[in-house]
Amino acid sequence: AKAIFKSWFVDFEPVKAKIEAKQNGQDPERAAIRTISGKTDEELNQLPLDQLAQLTATAVLFPNELVDSKRGLIPKEWEVKKIKEMAVTIKGKSYKSVELEPSSTALVTLKSFSRGGGYRSDGLKAYVGKYKPEQEVVAGDLIIAYTDVTQAADVIGKPAMVIDDPNYKHLVISLDVAVIRPVHERLKNYLYGLANTYQFQEHTKSYTTGTTVLHLGKNAVPDYSAVFPDKPLEDIFFNITEPIFLSINERTEETRKLTLLRDTLLPKLLSGEINVAGAREKLTEAV
């Protein structure tokens, strides 16, 4: 997903392929198809007609010209906008230690971010305090870390997609976290790709203050200017990447179940409480 985003929306490779092909008297659409698919003409000719038609429909959406903008050269008819024009950034809930009690609600915290970005399922904290409805998140929501305690600033400004946890009915972002809610749902994956770019990370660094504990400025995310393509391309990117994020969510739940099963069976096997046959029986019951 990151590779596709960089190729299409940062390096503009399909657009540049069209420009070069046009200058050389070649078919611009075919050049864009080769770039998008990573295939040669011979390989493309072997594809089923429906796949080739889908690639062609995608290639047509890329302009064949770059124009000047305040972000440098960008594809013609694409727009430079600030994130706040395309999404609302909502900060999380401050909490007290006395509110961290067993509950069906959990806080998504700074520990919910892996170094370099990405979601960690073991960072949740059970929570019994109050919160605003807009601070609740669900699987697939885009969140960004607004605080960091790592010396190398490996977490601050990094994005993650929330993943389900069956142990909790409600997930709420803490003050260290912000949720990015786009104007339309299918823009979410584009914003996630944008937050993973080098350019966005350099921008957030410039908004970071503090020494031992780092803090991201309130307007760091909303004020970031980026290039946004036409909605049809955003939709195609969503269609390509959404199955990846859904698969991550499913595999995470599968891993959780397998871990629980291992932790249940292994001590019993080592103590002799059950034998291999008994383990198989319990495994069958669990499945």
Query: pLDDT by residue (tens digit) across 128-148?
Result: 999 999 999 999 999 999 999
In which band, very low, low, confident or very high, does the pLDDT at 272 lie, cut at 50, 70 and 90?
confident
User: Residue 103 and residue 95: Cα distance in Å, rounded?
Assistant: 14
CA distance 213 to 151: 9
- Alpha helices (runs of H) in the chain, residue ranges in sequence order: 2-5, 13-23, 28-37, 41-45, 49-60, 83-86, 188-195, 198-206, 231-271, 276-286
Nearest to 8 by CA among 75, 80, 76: 75
The average confidence (pLDDT) of the chain is: 92
Higher pLDDT, 205 or 281: 205
pLDDT of res. 278? 66
- Cβ atoms 35, 11 nearer than 8 A: no
| The pLDDT of residue 286 | 59
At 68-126, the pLDDT tens digits run 999 999 999 999 999 999 999 999 999 999 999 999 999 999 999 999 999 998 899 99
Q: Rg (Cα) of the chain, in Å, rounded?
A: 23
Model confidence pLDDT, tens digit, residues 202-239: 999 999 999 889 999 999 999 999 999 999 999 999 99
Cα 181 to chain centroid distance, Å, stands at: 13
pTM: 0.86
* 106 φ/ψ angles, rounded to the nearest 5 degrees: -135, 150
| pLDDT reported for residue 152 | 83
Q: Identify any residues that bridge with 208 across adjacent strands, giving them in sequence order.
A: 216
Look at the alpha carbons of 239, 244, 249, 253 in this order and tell me if their dihedral is positive or negative: positive
Question: Which carries the bigger pLDDT value, residue 160 or residue 153?
Answer: 160
**What tokens appear for 185 in the block?**
């749902």
- CA trace torsion 243, 237, 55, 27 (10° rounding): -160
Judge whether residue 287 has pLDDT over 70.
Answer: no
Q: Which tokens in the block code for residue 139? A: 């699987």
